[in-house]
Amino acid sequence: MIQMFLKGGPVMWPLLIVSMVTLTVVIERIWFIWRESRLRNAADVEKFLSALEKKQDTQAKEVGAKSTDFVVRVLHYALDHRSVSFSSAYLQAANRELTRFNRGLSVLDTVITLAPLLGLLGTVTGLIHSFGLLGNQELEAPTALTGGIAEALIATAFGLVIAVTALLPFNFLNAQVEQARQELEDTGTQLELILRGER
């Protein structure tokens, strides 16, 4: 594997860096999603909304202050700042939470585009090297030509493998962000309806 990597030419080092960055981001994001799922507590959301329906703002704030659920944190922040502007406070808190979920996705998005392009760059440089040997008539052994073509193919393969490997977690993480956004929108609507009913 190492010998194959080294045969890929100089473009393999940027591909190695890209793959290490990808692996780091994926591990960190998967850890983040796992940790957030462990901190989720749907019962706290119900308690919070139920307390508000009963016009027990103090009890709702107590639930919000103790909860580790990101949805309850947003609801609690919006309730605390509703005197200024409920919608603005809710939007600000929701965006703050969604930013946490989105962190690192732009890196994976870049990798999905960049890795195949680096692979293609390796293809081009490998073919240039091969045709350079043809032009200089240095083809005393058949391996001189095939070595450059192998370099091109190895770089392309590595670039595609990195992109495909990054694409799967990227789609999974995007789905998690969308799910979090949907949950925030749903609970925000419920909270707004409860607060309207109090007026």
Residue 9 to residue 199: CA distance in whole angstroms: 70
Q: What is the mean pLDDT of the chain?
A: 83
pLDDT in tens, 145-161: 666 677 678 888 899 99
Residue 54 clears pLDDT 90, i.e. is over it:
no
Residue 19 to residue 13: CA distance in whole angstroms: 10
Residue 123 is predicted with a pLDDT of 83
Residue 35 clears pLDDT 50, i.e. is over it:
yes
Residue 138 to residue 130: CA distance in whole angstroms: 10
Q: Which domain holds residue 116?
A: 2-198
Residue 59 is predicted with a pLDDT of 87
Q: Is residue 62 within 8 Å of 50, Cβ to Cβ? A: no
Residue 116 to residue 166: CA distance in whole angstroms: 11
Residue 80 clears pLDDT 70, i.e. is over it:
yes
Torsion of CA 84, 89, 91, 97, to 10 degrees: 170
Q: Is residue 187 within 8 Å of 49, Cβ to Cβ? A: yes
Q: Is residue 16 within 8 Å of 5, Cβ to Cβ? A: yes
Residue 37's identity, in one-letter code, is S
Which segment of 7-21, 145-159, 181-195 scores lowest on mean pLDDT?
A: 145-159
Residue 107 clears pLDDT 90, i.e. is over it:
yes
Question: Based on the structure, what is the number of domains in the chain?
Answer: 1
